[in-house]
Each structure stands twice: as structure tokens, then as C-alpha cells.
Amino acid sequence: MRCKVSQTHIKESKLEENGYTFIELTVVVFLIGLTLVLTVPKFRYAMLTDDLKATVRRMVGTVRSLRNEAIREQKIYTLHFDLESNRFWIESADMTDEGRDLAYEKAFHLPEGVRILDVWSGARGKKVDGKAAIRFTKKGYIEQSVIHLAAEDGREFTLELSPFLGKVKVSEKYIEFE
């Protein structure tokens, strides 16, 4: 009987040693909270409020949807850029003059601090001021083009439009094309 008591006592003391103390749990919870407090604002800024990245995503989405629309509707579309007022808009070949004016008025304005540096096309070269355009054919072909965007903080993006595949290659630096 004495052996059983001592074995039971040994098992109980081992169980007590395997648990965590309140202080240990408090320290772990504090460290997790501190990590979240320090990282979540940076993550939120990078994903939600970074105007340059949001503009890049919007422009890539516009190019993809415009290519699909050209194929589906069997229409020629043009993506226009006003490099001085930092905006872009879409026109179709069958638009009236009033429709073109309305499309220009409703153009997407880039956020403050983001600008279109230039638009390059294989046929016309680089445009750094004025207006530029990228044409989408009925079959979805895009003339070989590159769009350069920049933010006030010095970051630059290059969007390279593939003529036949409709893909947009995005690079987080300025890549020169000739």
C-alpha cells in the first residue's frame, strides 16, 4: 500500500510540473499582442492604403477586362491616357462625339501622389506628356506597350502589356524599352 501512495504522489507532482503558470501565459499573450500591434498597421498600409499598388492593380484589371470586352463584343477599344492630368479612360470605335466627351469627363483620376511617368508603344515610341493611347483589336490583340507609374516616395512600377496573350507583366522598378 505504501508503494501505491508514493507512485500516485509521483504522478501528481509530474502533472503539476507539466502545466504552465499564469505568469508564463501572460507573457506569451503579451508578446503575441505586441507583435500584432506592430505588424498589423504596416500590413494594412501596404495592402489597403498604398495608392501606387492600388493604381497598378486597377490598371492591370482595366487592361484585362478591356481585352476580354474587345473579344466578346468584337469591337475596337482604345485605352487613353492624359499624362498631364494623370487620368485614363476607355473609348470604343463606335462611340459618338458626345460619348467620347462623356468618357473623358468620367476618366479615372489617379490618386494624389501617383502619376503616369510615360507610355511607350512599339509603333509610336515613348510619350512623356500630352495624351497617349493603347489600342485593343477585335481579336484582343494589344499593341506592344509599356506603362510607367511612380509615387512621390520614389517607387516606380513598369506594366508591360503582352501583344498576343493579353497578359500584363508588373515590375517594381522602371524598365526602359526602345
51-171: CATH class:
alpha beta
Q: Read off the C-alpha cell for 106.
A: 468620367
- The mean per-residue pLDDT over the stretch 96-112 comes to 90
The least confident of 45-49, 120-124, 133-137, 169-173 is 45-49
What confidence tier does 98 reach under pLDDT thresholds 50, 70, 90? Answer: very high
Collapsing DSSP to helix, strand or coil, 74 comes out as coil
Question: Distance between CA 77 and CA 82 in Å, rounded?
Answer: 16
Between 27 and 45, name the one with better pLDDT: 27
Whole-number pLDDT of residue 165: 78
Q: Are 131 and 121 in contact (CB under 8 A)?
A: no
- The mean per-residue pLDDT over the stretch 34-43 comes to 75
What pTM was estimated for this model as a whole? 0.70
CA–CA distance from 36 to each of 3, 25, 39, 172 (Å)?
Answer: 51, 17, 5, 27
Q: Read off the C-alpha cell for 72.
A: 466578346
Q: Which residues pair with 149 in a beta bridge?
A: 116, 157
The least confident of 5-19, 20-34, 77-91, 111-125 is 5-19
Question: Distance between CA 125 and CA 150 in Å, rounded?
Answer: 19
